[in-house]
Amino acid sequence: MIAGWIFYNIKYEMRHFIVTRQQHLIDHVHAKSVQANTLLVTGIPSKYLSRDALYNLFHELPGGVKKIWINRYVLQLFVHLYPLIAPQESQRTSRHL
């Protein structure tokens, strides 16, 4: 009996979550945000590591492609940004403990 009630609540909450999430994703304000219009693609084969090749691959997506950034220096970027990010991360995690 209790297991049935638990499964019913999980199913109900998942339905509610999916509806709420879809409403948020189609909201006009969210649809115009950078977060909603950015796609991160990793593990790209070397034959596609040019702006032209990526544009030809993705230009048929709904809304098209506006900008393409290729970051070939991830390790250097991490080494440069980590000293700036680490104090903020430690403050954020210590506040939530």
Q: If you count them, how many residues does the chain have? A: 97
pLDDT tens figures, 12-46:
999 999 999 999 888 988 888 888 878 777 788 88
Residue spans of alpha helices (H) in 1-97: 2-25, 28-31, 51-58, 74-95
Q: Comparing 42 with 57, which gets the higher pLDDT? A: 57
* C-alpha–C-alpha distance, residues 28 and 23, integer Å: 10
Q: What is the pLDDT of residue 31?
A: 82
Q: How confident is the model at residue 6 (pLDDT cuts 50, 70, 90)?
A: very high
Instruction: Summarize the confidence of residues 67-72 as an average pLDDT.
Output: 82
pTM greater than the 0.75 cutoff: no
Under 8 Å between Cβ of 40 and 14: no
pLDDT at site 7: 94
